Amino acid sequence: MSRLVMKFGGTSVANLDRIKRAAKRVAREVANGHEVIVIVSAMSGKTNELVGWVDETSPLYDAREYDAVVSSGENVTAGLMALTLQEMDIPARSWQGWQVPLKTNGAHGSARIEEIPTDNLDAKFAEGMQVAVVAGFQGISPEGRITTLGRGGSDTTAVAFAAAFDAVRCDIYTDVDGVYTTDPRITSKARKLDRIAFEEMLELASLGAKVLQTRSVELAMRYGVKLRVLSSFEEYSETAGTLVCAEDEIMESHVVNGVAYSRDEAKMTLVNVDDRPGVAAAIFVPLAQAGVNVDMIVQNISEGGKTDMTFSCPVDQVARAEKAIKDATDRGELSYGDLVVDSDVCKISVVGIGMRSHTGVAAKMFEALMGDNINIKVITTSEIKVSVLVDRKYLELAVQTLHDAFELEKAGDA
């Protein structure tokens, strides 16, 4: 019998009525002949509430106890989902991470999955269980303590189970009905994609698209797990949602398939840095050690033995970056003339696997932005994306302009 993984996010299980709605979707897949592994998140808002209780109780908390508290929301949902299915005469039982067991490393709060033995669930399926409802976001450390996988960890849990149990597909139920060419809240022309390649989805997720968690897409790409993103609130159909799959399963697509953005970026420039071997390490090693998530990096041409180094980072990490650079300077590891910070920028990116075989994407992007008098501050490229930093006030205009320029509202090859 084939296995199917179904993951329901917090809005999909926000109350008992929504849990019943989700359970009906599970029942349909059981009726279709699947053994189903359901991964559930905590009810909407519950994890934030639990985190707030921890912070209020112990601002300098023990990470092991933090995980014990915040993982409890998923346990409640799993139990309620199993009870709901049982009321529908479907043999179901709930599983916490340690019962499976989902084995992780010991990095509490951001643990990595190491192994999911299938013996326990396989035995229960053989005995007649039709649905295993698993609490997402959690596992067990080598020391036997509860761990959590970080925000969005239930998506990662779902993909990992699909890989471990050789599932035919992993369906991610959420509050949106698929992956769009861009944020529909910014442009009404945004179009839902029927299919998108793993690499494109990974780029969009890492660039700010909130539909799927980045680690889950990485895992799906590594193990070839087909993902389908669909809404818990729309009528079901076999073609609903967006399928995230291998590139060779997509017959045709745009050269550019999506426009992503990250609103809260900052641009930092070190002026008149000594241009010498090791200067980049002197800047970016301290930043990494301070936990600063550096993204775009540009170095100017050297003049008179000096150069400028520009990089971007999340705006809420600027103070941490400034301290790391100051500390490195105080230690004599770094010398520069000035540090210029622009905390009012955003990142806009165009993404598409078609860029590999088509020229002129960057030129078209730059020409479109120029047409709306949007100045580009920093540019970076990869094989399937072009990203720019622009003033934050132009975010919506830039997204709309690029969506129009690449005609993403049109289906098929463009």
Annotated binding site: 7-10, 47, 74, 174-175, 180, 185, 210-211
Binding-site residues for substrate sit at 47, 74
Which residue, chain included where needed, has tokens 């070839």?
A: 224
Structure tokens at 345: 């920028």
Helix, strand, or coil (residue 363): helix
Nearest CA to 110 out of 66, 45, 48 is that of 66
Binding-site residues for ATP sit at 7-10, 174-175, 180, 185, 210-211
Structure tokens at 177: 């009905």
DSSP string of 159-222, one letter each residue:
HHHHHHTT-S-EEEEESSSS-BSS-TTT-TT--B-SEEEHHHHHHHHHTT--SS-HHHHHHHHH
Separation between Cα atoms, residue 141 and residue 338, nearest integer Å: 46
Separation between Cα atoms, residue 366 and residue 371, nearest integer Å: 9
Separation between Cα atoms, residue 314 and residue 294, nearest integer Å: 8
Judge whether 75 and 96 are in contact, CB under 8 Å. yes
Structure tokens at 146: 């509860």
Report how far apart the first and last C-alpha atoms of the chain are (Å, whole number).
Answer: 41
Residues in the chain: 414
Sheet containing strand 131-135, strands side by side: 92-95, 131-135, 35-40, 3-8, 170-174, 227-231, 242-245, 195-197
Residue 186 CA, chain-centre distance (Å), reads 20
Burial per residue of 197-221, b for 16 or more beta-carbon CB atoms within 10 angstroms, e otherwise? bbbbbbbbbbbbbebbbbbbbbbbb
Separation between Cα atoms, residue 295 and residue 312, nearest integer Å: 5
